[in-house]
């Protein structure tokens, strides 16, 4: 695999990044098998591994640490911080207090002295971004992390973070990790162009759209909801839901296109984000060795303009057929009190 430079970091990474969300309790519970998957990926030329502290409550990081013994120097290792790691206040978020503790926990589980890319997993409206950037800058200076980035941030918050970093003399987010697939192209509107203008590396997640682009779920067939992603979020696979129908309709068109291109549907799906000039690496998240091997078969697939034009006709640029799982929603939309004046407030401002 020909390596690409990750934003302005100078770090060279493979166009495929091995995602490990499915290692541990939520996916593959066999640690030895997961280690073999990591080794097989490295042997095939992948040098980029992505995990997070919250994946199976730290179990994924522990597995990755086992897998990288003796091979750590050859791997670009990425993990994340933000989501709660236990009960009670102060065990999640983007505060300096939590980040300083969380990075030590990740280093211990990963059994390493440094993390190459430390990512803020989601925005945190309770913490000033300057607080977050200051803490992360200190970690770089201490040698505990080499660079830091963000994941699933809206474009306006990426821009704000860069302005704050410049104004305060802090290091800035070097990467963004957004969801991006044939069925979820919303990031093409703002996030990817902003990342390009700011010189950020981009590693995208969910290229298979939570399994809908694997070919396992097809229109007119009974959907198997007994295993895999449907067990994590059954509502996303409800055959009666209009969004499910829309996804399945698009999938049928992509199956036809894949046949014309001469590849499988998953190969088409993973080749698509790599065609965007803003994208550095695509995260693949196999649960089994078979899934890894099937994915790597498509490493040579390159989509030409004719294929990309056909894709645009099926799902127009910048369009989401469905809202991707796990995307951050601003508090202004999720918290009614932030968009409704109370009677007292109206009286006070009358």
State yes or no: pLDDT of 314 exceeds 80: yes
Q: How far is CA 335 from the centre of its chain?
A: 25
State yes or no: pLDDT of 234 exceeds 80: no
Q: What was the pLDDT predicted at 245?
A: 92
State yes or no: pLDDT of 157 exceeds 80: yes
What residues does each domain of the chain span?
Answer: 4-349
State yes or no: pLDDT of 81 exceeds 80: yes
State yes or no: pLDDT of 237 exceeds 70: yes
> 3-class SS at 256?
helix
pLDDT tens digit string along 52-67? 999 999 999 999 999 9
Across the range 180-189, mean pLDDT stands at 98
DSSP string, 5-55: E-TTS--EE-SEEEE-TTBSTTSB--HHHHHHHHHHHHHTT--EEE--TTG
State yes or no: pLDDT of 196 exceeds 70: yes
With both helix axes pointing from N to C terminus, report the angle between 31-43 and 289-296 in degrees, rounded to the nearest 10: 20
Banded pLDDT at 350 (limits 50, 70, 90):
very low
Q: Which of 83-97, 206-220, 244-258 has the lowest mean pLDDT?
A: 206-220
State yes or no: pLDDT of 254 exceeds 70: yes
State yes or no: pLDDT of 74 exceeds 90: yes
State yes or no: pLDDT of 150 exceeds 60: yes
Pick the CATH number of 4-349 from 3.50.50.60, 2.60.40.1190, 3.20.20.100, 3.40.190.10: 3.20.20.100
- Predicted model pTM: 0.93
State yes or no: pLDDT of 97 exceeds 60: yes
> 3-class SS at 77?
strand
Across the range 262-282, mean pLDDT stands at 97
DSSP string, 220-242: TS----SSSGGGT-GGGG-TTSH
Q: Which of 5-19, 62-76, 211-225 has the lowest mean pLDDT?
A: 211-225
Q: What was the pLDDT predicted at 344?
A: 55
Q: What was the pLDDT predicted at 328?
A: 84
Across the range 311-332, mean pLDDT stands at 92
List residues with catalytic annotation.
55
The rounded mean pLDDT for the chain is 94
Q: What was the pLDDT predicted at 345?
A: 55
Across the range 73-90, mean pLDDT stands at 96
Across the range 220-238, mean pLDDT stands at 74
Across the range 155-180, mean pLDDT stands at 98
Across the range 194-209, mean pLDDT stands at 97
Banded pLDDT at 238 (limits 50, 70, 90):
confident
Contacts of 340 by beta carbon, 8 Å cutoff, 6+ apart: none
Place of tokens 């004719």: 306
DSSP string, 123-180: --TTS-HHHHHHHHHHHHHTTSEEEEEEES--HHHHHHHHHHHHHHT-----EEE-B-
Across the range 264-289, mean pLDDT stands at 97
Across the range 100-129, mean pLDDT stands at 98
């Amino acid at each position: 695999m020909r390596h690409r430079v990750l934003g302005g970091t100078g770090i060279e990474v493979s166009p495929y990044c091995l995602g490990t969300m499915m290692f541990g309790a939520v996916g593959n519970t066999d640690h030895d098998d997961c280690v073999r998957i990591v080794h097989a990926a490295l042997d095939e030329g992948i040098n980029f591994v992505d995990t997070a502290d919250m994946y199976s409550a730290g179990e994924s990081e522990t597995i990755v640490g086992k897998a990288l013994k003796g091979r750590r120097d050859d791997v670009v290792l990425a993990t994340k911080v933000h989501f709660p790691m236990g009960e009670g206040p102060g065990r999640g978020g983007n505060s300096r207090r939590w980040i300083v503790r969380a990075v030590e926990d990740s280093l211990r589980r990963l059994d390493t002295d440094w993390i190459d890319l430390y990512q803020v997993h989601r925005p945190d409206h309770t913490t000033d971004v300057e607080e977050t950037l200051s803490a992360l800058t200190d970690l770089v200076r201490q040698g505990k992390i080499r660079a830091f980035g963000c994941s699933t941030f809206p474009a306006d918050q990426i821009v704000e973070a860069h302005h704050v970093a410049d104004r305060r003399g802090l290091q800035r987010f070097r990467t963004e990790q957004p969801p991006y697939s044939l069925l979820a192209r919303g990031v093409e509107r703002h996030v990817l162009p902003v990342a390009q203008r700011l010189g950020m590396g981009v590693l995208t997640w969910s290229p298979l759209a939570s399994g809908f682009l694997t070919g396992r779920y097809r229109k007119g067939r009974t959907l198997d909801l007994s295993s895999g992603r449907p067990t994590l979020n059954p509502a996303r696979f409800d055959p009666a839901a209009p969004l499910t129908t829309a996804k399945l309709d698009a999938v049928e068109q992509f199956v036809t296109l894949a046949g014309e291109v001469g590849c499988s549907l998953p190969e088409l799906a993973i080749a698509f984000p790599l065609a965007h000039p803003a994208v550095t690496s695509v995260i693949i998240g196999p649960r089994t060795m078979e899934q890894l091997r099937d994915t790597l078969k498509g490493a040579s697939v390159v989509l030409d303009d004719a294929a990309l034009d056909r894709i645009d006709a099926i799902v127009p640029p910048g369009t989401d057929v469905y809202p991707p799982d796990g995307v951050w929603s601003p508090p202004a939309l999720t918290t009614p009190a932030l968009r409704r004046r109370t009677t007292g407030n109206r009286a006070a401002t009358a």
